[in-house]
Amino acid sequence: MGSHALLSPSSAARWTACPPSARLCEHVAEGPSVFAEEGTEAHTLCEHKVKLALGLASVDPVPTLRYHSEEMDSCADEYAAFVLEALQREKESGGDPIVLTEQRLDISAFVPECSGTGDCVIVSDGRLHVIDFKYGQGVPVSAERNKQMMLYALGALGMFGSLYEVDEVSMTVFQPRLANVGTSTMGVDELLGWAESYLKPRAELAFQGGGEFSSGPHCRFCKVKATCRARAEANLELARYEFAKPVLLGEDEIAAILTQADELEAWVGDIRAHAFSVVAGGGTLEGFKLVEGRSVRRYTDEDSVAEAVATAGYDPYEQKVRGITAMTELLGRTRFNEILGPYVCRPKGKPTLVPESDKRPAITIDDFEDIKEK
């Protein structure tokens, strides 16, 4: 895992799109995150599994892991298997590859004071392959034009470019908890051209605190996303939309609203969370207060409840088969597939309206006869 420098590879999507956000966020404290700690431990376990698979010495980190689970173990096994497969493909292509895990990469030739850690780097004559493990399960991460991966690739090229004749770079995002594994490939000339024409100028702007603020999907992990004025203005623009005169909205107007709806909803959610933290911390917001929310009844002592119900002559328990997630945690991903694979199916998902840019193929309601019948 890389250190959190001003211009880190992990936040490259944000500071390249919104250069002044780097300095704006520089001194904003960020509290500890269970998800981040869990992800760090998963990376540690992955490195251990890969080293064992390669026949290298490694100390088992499991006794020191607070969040270790069957699922984490299974994900690490899948990752190690993927790395070995990628390595084997390079060998079969006639190369003599080397593989490095948790490799420190210097990217300062393109981004001031920037470095990062590549989870796995495989290099041989002709090709460089960078693999990034993602333990998160909130949002699928795409490998296509992934700026974090491109920065890692640049760092790896700087490290091995004089030793190997690399013509092509492959960048893989391995996100097992979402069954998301994607690889993007580009020529070295294209990558270096992007670095010179786009990355370096944007990085220099960000390092100096210059450039224009810009709102977009990159705001998701920004430390000041709730109070950023540029983001507020971009979202409030929807309220100033100049609708046509007819009483009813036209389809083109509905499409215009939907284009901004997701970002608008996310922004409002961030505003609500920030407002709550202000008032909960003793501050005031004119016209708002904290009140007790709706409460749900619960048992104070489940053992006593079960005993009381059993004494009254009733069975206090209900039995049902564990859900797929709980069963996977019980058995581990590999054993789950071995034992229950024939008994698991994936029914068609509920039709969802998404932008044209979404990579999933379009469908028609004719594909969902059960919905038509209802």
Per-residue pLDDT tens digits for 92-109 = 887 789 999 999 999 999
pLDDT reading at 1 higher than 70: no
pLDDT reading at 334 higher than 90: no
Q: Is residue 148 a contact partner of residue 141, using CB atoms and an 8 Å limit?
A: no
Degrees, nearest 5: CA angle 108-111-114: 55
Predicted pLDDT at 2: 39
Predicted pLDDT at 374: 44
Closest CA to 219 of 255, 265, 287: 265
Q: Thinking of the domain 9-208, which architecture would CATH place it in? A: Alpha-Beta Complex (3.90)
Predicted pLDDT at 243: 60
Degrees, nearest 5: CA angle 204-206-207: 65
pLDDT reading at 205 higher than 70: yes
Torsion region of 157: left, alpha or beta (phi above 0 gives left; psi -120 to 50 gives alpha): alpha
pTM of the model: 0.78
Which residues, at least 6 apart from 110, have a Cβ–Cβ distance to it below 8 Å?
151, 154, 195, 199, 200, 203
Predicted pLDDT at 306: 93
Structural domain boundaries of the chain? 9-208, 225-280
Choose between 99 and 252: higher pLDDT. Answer: 99
Predicted pLDDT at 373: 45
